[in-house]
């Protein structure tokens, strides 16, 4: 099928087909017509022939076992999908190991957005030479390829300022270490930002306030156990923390549960902040204050970077982020006055 055949089948002009072929994001053709034309050109392999092998697919590769419909990942996917559609691309989700992905071995995608807690730094660096690649929501030390990362420093600053404004000065940080793993890049960045910004804000930094316990197995039960033990440790200190910033909403939710079991009032005795602002934050008790890294916008930026890389493979690598915000709910507040003991 040629352009004339596509135009006849869809009852549009050949000029309209040509406009979309040469620029799939053209504003001279309505989004509905663009979508129909791109779909037919894909099905007939006309795009592949007309663009020297370009597939007009973007691969979104995530860890095995990850469900992109889960609220945390779906926000990234939503941003990726919308930006891709605007540019005339399809998104294909793949949960294979990146080196085994058929998107690459079978040339099914023009570029890859990778969201994975990878450890093969050399492999990622080599892969970026084979196919346009953007790392999303990962934070390796080296600039291996184009990256879109959370604004960890900005998020921590907003959380600290919020807590200080409520009268807190004894603020702790909580993360969890997976079995046999080093601290991942995102938690490392948050820990460093917490330490640096706390000093700049004049807060006394106690080694006992920064806790990253290791779990023996990846499970909610094991994570719940170590977080409960951490809270017990903090409460036995001569000066226990009155607020905690958690490097994940799940850790914050489990901390809220542990506090309830120990009859610690939140936020009266302990304020809690999570990270990621997932949908579940609205349904904890109390509702969880959380750092929002604007996942949908991060997804959109990843597509933007990938399209630039596809168009210009030799451009310099860049690392970008978008501003974090703080979604304030009921888990943070001023300390209740301590009643005198009789």
In tens, the pLDDT along 6-57 reads: 888 888 887 788 777 777 767 788 888 888 887 887 777 666 555 556 788 8
Statement: residue 341 has pLDDT above 50: no
Residue 117 pLDDT:
66
Cβ pair 163, 210 in contact under 8 A? no
pLDDT at 342 over 50: no
* More confidently predicted of 93 and 305: 305
Find the mean pLDDT for residues 118-146: 81
Give CA–CA dist 274/160, Å, rounded. Answer: 12
pLDDT tens by residue, 182-197: 888 889 999 999 999 9
**What residue ranges of the chain are covered by domains with CATH 3.40.50.2300?**
57-150+295-311, 152-292
The mean pLDDT value for 192-204 works out to 94
Q: Please choose, from the candidates 125, 148, 141, the residue with its C-alpha nearest in 3D space to the C-alpha of residue 189.
A: 141
Compute the average pLDDT of residues 129-149.
87
Q: What are the pLDDT digits (tens) for 212-241?
A: 999 998 899 999 999 999 999 999 999 999
Cα torsion at 87, 91, 97, 98 (round to 10°)?
Answer: -20
Tell which residue, 273, 276, 260, has the closest CA to residue 224.
260
Residue 266 pLDDT level (bands cut at 50, 70, 90): very high
Q: What is the torsion angle, in degrees rounded to the nearest 10, for the CA atoms of residue 295, residue 300, residue 301 and residue 302?
A: 90
What's the chain's Rg over C-alpha atoms?
Answer: 24
Classify domain 152-292 by CATH number.
3.40.50.2300
Please name the fold of domain 57-150+295-311: Rossmann fold (3.40.50)
Task: Using the predicted structure, report yes or no on whether residue 68 has a pLDDT greater than 60.
Answer: yes
């Amino acid at each position: 099928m040629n352009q004339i055949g596509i135009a006849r089948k869809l009852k549009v002009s050949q000029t309209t087909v040509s406009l979309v072929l040469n620029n799939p994001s053209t504003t001279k053709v309505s989004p509905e017509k663009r979508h129909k034309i791109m779909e037919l050109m894909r099905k007939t392999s006309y795009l592949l022939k007309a663009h020297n092998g370009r597939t007009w697919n973007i691969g979104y590769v995530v860890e095995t076992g990850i469900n992109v419909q889960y609220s945390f990942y779906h926000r990234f996917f939503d941003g990726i999908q919308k930006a891709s559609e605007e540019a005339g691309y399809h998104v294909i989700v793949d949960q294979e190991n990146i080196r085994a992905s058929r998107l690459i071995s079978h040339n099914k995608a023009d570029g890859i957005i990778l969201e994975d807690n990878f450890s093969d730094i050399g492999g990622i660096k080599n892969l970026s030479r084979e196919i346009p690649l953007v790392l999303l929501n990962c934070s390796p030390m080296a600039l291996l390829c184009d990256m879109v990362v959370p604004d960890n420093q900005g998020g921590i600053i907003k959380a600290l300022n919020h807590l200080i404004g409520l009268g807190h000065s004894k603020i702790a940080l909580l993360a969890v270490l997976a079995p046999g793993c080093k601290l991942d890049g995102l938690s490392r960045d948050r820990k460093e930002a917490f330490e640096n910004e706390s000093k700049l804000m004049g807060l006394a930094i106690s080694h006992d306030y920064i806790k990253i316990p290791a779990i023996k197995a990846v499970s909610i039960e094991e994570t719940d156990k170590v977080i409960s033990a951490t809270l017990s440790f903090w409460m036995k200190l001569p000066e226990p923390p009155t607020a905690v910033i958690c490097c994940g909403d799940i850790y914050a939710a489990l901390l809220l549960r542990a506090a309830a079991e120990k009859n610690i009032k939140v936020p009266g005795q302990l304020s809690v902040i999570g990270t990621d602002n997932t949908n579940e934050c609205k349904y904890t008790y109390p509702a969880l204050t959380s750092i929002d890294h604007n996942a949908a916008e991060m997804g959109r930026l990843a597509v933007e970077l990938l399209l630039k890389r596809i168009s210009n493979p030799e451009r310099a690598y860049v690392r970008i982020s978008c501003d974090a915000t703080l979604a304030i709910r009921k888990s943070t507040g001023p300390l209740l006055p301590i009643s005198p003991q009789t």
